[in-house]
Amino acid sequence: MAGNDKFRDECGVVAIYAHPEAETLAYLGLHALQHRGQESAGIVTSDGMALHIHKAMGLVADIFTEKRLARLRGTLAIGHTRYSTTGDSALLNAQPIMVQSNKGTIALAHNGNLTNAQEIRSRMEAQGSIFQTSSDTEVIVHLIAQSREHTLPDAFADALRRVEGAFSLVMLSRDRVFATRDPRGFRPLAMARIPAQNGSTHDTIVFASETCAFDLIGAQYEREVKPGELIIVGPEGVSSRNFAPAQAQSSCIFEHVYFSRPDSRIFGRPVQESREQLGRELAREAPADADLVVPVPDSGVTAAMGYAAESGIPLRFGLIRNHYVGRTFIEPQQSVRDFGVKLKLNPVRSLLQGKRIVLIDDSIVRGTTSRKIVRMVRNAGAKEVHMRISCPPTISPCFYGVDTPRKAELIAANNTIEEIRQYTGADSLAYLSLDGLKKACHDGEKTTYCTACYTGQYPTNLVDVEEILPAAVEKP
């Protein structure tokens, strides 16, 4: 499949406080965040007395029918949509995770990855703790339960101080919603408000991984959850505390390159602006003598708009994406070359015939899909294919909530750009420089970004990257 050579998105989380249809708002929020994970989804609600949960494998719209949502009726809710590995244990790892603890019943949903989860887990298991899942999120639940602090907010803050890595978290208790980000602010999490209606005394407070979720439910964006901040929303209103001092900020720049929707505002900056600027910088750094700019849909579209605007070369949609490809399909018995890519993308021959094409994509991971797409464009009659990538070569895995291949599988970690060009079959190949990437995303103004996947320089202490297997601890 064409999408298999992309980084897997980490997760999306949403939380709703004080709304008569909290479960429906959570469902709609998850629907807007579906691009962040398509393997499983879950919602936990509170009616003020008890928590109710439903989670399953599949897409949000398939899991939550009207009848199912009616059983989850509540005024508080959290939700989660996730990319997970396949297998029998996958549903066990679906979130939110709900547990009965000495601090009451709580539910937790996590976007990110804890770099010291395995160490904490091993220590806890040696002391007799029993884990139900392979998700690193469960470590936080155990830390809350074992905390010597007496109140849930204090116990949560205590647990957060003990974990390292990337986390944007929402948590639900019987009468409160909690939202927090790690001290470095790796992953996004924003807060919005729906003014009180129909005689209600409380505004509805909403949290979500991306602001596009607010637009769908009519919530007004207020601000980001700050790195190292814990926000608690309860009967007494909204309160905030710092569970740890904010550290040198290292927000994931790949949110702007690929993960987030273009209509979202991430780390205080519109994604659409960043991506157009990526394309403009790329056109300045790596011009091409060509007839058409053609994006690889959908991830290359916005950068291609910027490249075309800066270069003056017309933009045309020479590859059409089929948006209705299910997860199962019947392959013809006689093998069709590049069938998986053809299933998702089809060339517009009348546009490409005899033309010199600048093909724009956001990244090359293993290179296998890029090779097939170049071949497809050439077979459709293109005279030349010049590939341009709107980020630098990816040379290192991410351990902060993105499911990336090991270093040995990353084509740019083991090959020169010329070798990658030869492998893909493009007439020329150029990547955006690291400086160009930072400039396009306004690095250092409102946000300082993590670029470890392009540099191999990680902002937190890690063991040698080859010792960390992405499958060792399930990423939420």
Cα angle at 60 between 209 and 403, to 5 degrees? 55
- Establish whether 453 is a catalytic residue: no
Q: Token match 């997760």: residue?
A: 11
Return the structure tokens found at 106: 């709580």
Q: Which is the catalytic residue, given 11, 212, 441, 453? A: 11
Burial 17-41 (b: 16+ CB within 10 A, else e): bbbebbbbbbbbbbbbbbbbbbbbb
Contact predicate 400/187, CB 8 Å: yes
Token pair in block for residue 23: 């479960």
Using an 8 Å Cβ cutoff, are 211 and 221 in contact?
Answer: yes
Alpha-carbon distance of 212 to 341, in angstroms, equals 29
Per the structure block, which two tokens stand in for 454? 């392009």
Which residue do the tokens 């393997």 mark?
A: 39
Task: For residues 304 and 297, give the distance between their C-alpha atoms in angstroms, rounded to a whole number.
Answer: 10
Sheet holding 428-431, edge to edge: 292-295, 356-361, 384-389, 428-431
Asked if omega into 96 is within 30° of 0 (cis), the reply is yes
Instruction: Report the distance separating Cα 225 and Cα 155, nearest Å.
Output: 19
Distance, in Å, from the CA atom of 315 to the CA atom of 107, rounded to the nearest integer, reads: 47
Query: Residue 325 is encoded by which pair of tokens?
Result: 């490809």
Residues 433, 392 contacting (CB under 8 angstroms): yes
CB 106 within 8 A of CB 172: yes
Catalytic residue numbers?
Answer: 11
